[in-house]
Amino acid sequence: MAEGTATAAAERKDEEGDEKEEEKKDEILDGLFNETVRYSVVNIYVCAITELYAWQFEGREEPLPLLRGTKLAAILENVRRDEERVRRVNFTDRGLFTITGGYDVKGLRRAISWCWETASEAPGLVESCLRTTAEQLLGHATVTRGESQREVQLADLILIDLANEGLKLGESTPCIIMTMRQGKQNQHGKVEYIGCIRNADSVLYPLSALAFYFFYRWGRNGALEFPSFRQPEDYYGLFVFPGSIRVPTRPLSYSTQFE
């Protein structure tokens, strides 16, 4: 009798547990499907369907019927406008998902200082620490994506003097300019110029970081031979931030940059 009662109680407990689990799943699904689909999601689906539609008609002689026309464009525009109107009505923070989300000068300074300290204590990490310092500061000053930093080559850097921009009246100051012709935000080969000059904080000075990194590559005792700049073939294939200074024609990989 006691065993039967215990078995029945265990079964009821299991049933209650199953019911609670089902209720939890229903709550999760309700939360997922009650959320409004945003413009970016709708646009991604439209692009995918358009590509599939074009692929299905590929190779046929008859003209391809228009799929993405004025009506669909109007629907997408209405979705985008409604989303923007909701943001304004709800006073959504306009700083979300912008540069301000990751802009932290104090944190950047701590990271750069850590690189210098690590390089001074571990000789085997000098190259990676100097490269990380120069890459992070150049990307911070030029507000560029990680892909653009990995792909920049020596031929893409220009150094000019800005007149009357020095610390004293009449003095000039060096300005490094990075040119970009292709990237995720530049698909049509448009030439873009991004420059940076001195920084009041020497730890955050990108030109200084680049100078130390280049000196380690070519200026110190036992360094590699300084590259030739006599003709484009000699240096056009050399990357500013290669994966290894001994293979300067191979760019820095995403995994190495991420780590």
Does some domain include residue 181? yes
Query: What residue has token string 């800005």?
Result: 162
Does residue 189 share a domain with residue 118? yes
Question: Both 21 and 85 in a single domain?
Answer: yes
Residues 80 and 135 in one domain: no
Helix, coil or strand: residue 190: coil
Q: How many domains does the chain have?
A: 2
Would you say residue 12 lies in a domain?
A: no
Q: Is residue 53 part of a domain?
A: yes
Does 245 share its domain with 169? Answer: yes
pLDDT of residue 21: 72
| Radius of gyration of the chain, Cα coordinates, nearest whole angstrom | 28
Distance CA 249, CA 195 (A): 24
DSSP label at 221?
A: T
How many CB atoms within 10 Å of residue 242? 18
Asked whether residue 9 is domain-assigned, the answer is: no
- The whole-number pLDDT of residue 222 equals 79
Last residue of a domain, one of 92, 110, 134: 92
With respect to residue 27, please indicate whether it lies within any of the assigned structural domains: yes
Statement to judge: residues 44 and 109 lie in one domain? no
- The confidence score (pLDDT) of residue 185 equals 60
Residue 248 lies in a domain: yes
Q: What is the model's pTM?
A: 0.60
Residue 67 domain boundaries: 17-92
* pLDDT (tens place) for every residue of the chain, 259 residues total: 545 555 555 566 666 666 667 776 666 655 554 556 677 788 888 888 888 877 887 777 777 777 777 888 888 888 888 888 888 888 877 766 666 665 678 888 999 999 999 999 888 899 899 999 999 999 888 888 888 888 889 999 999 998 888 888 888 988 999 988 766 666 666 788 888 888 888 899 999 999 999 999 998 887 888 889 999 899 999 999 998 888 888 888 878 877 6
Long-range contacts (CB closer than 8 Å, 24 or more residues apart) made by 191-200? 194/142, 194/143, 194/144, 195/142, 196/138, 196/141, 196/142, 197/162, 197/165, 197/173, 198/173, 198/174, 199/141
- Say if residue 110 is in the same domain as residue 149: yes
Instruction: Please choose, from the candidates 73, 246, 10, 250, the residue with its C-alpha nearest in 3D space to the C-alpha of residue 151.
Output: 250
Q: Are residues 198 and 75 in the same domain?
A: no
Domain-embedded: residue 230: no
Determine the pLDDT at residue 10.
56
Residues 80 and 142 reside in one and the same domain: no
User: Which of 92, 117, 140 represents a domain boundary (last residue)?
Assistant: 92
**Is residue 38 located within the same domain as residue 64?**
yes
Same domain, 87 and 148: no
Domain boundary among the residues 92, 117, 137 is at 92
For residue 88, being part of any structural domain is answered with: yes
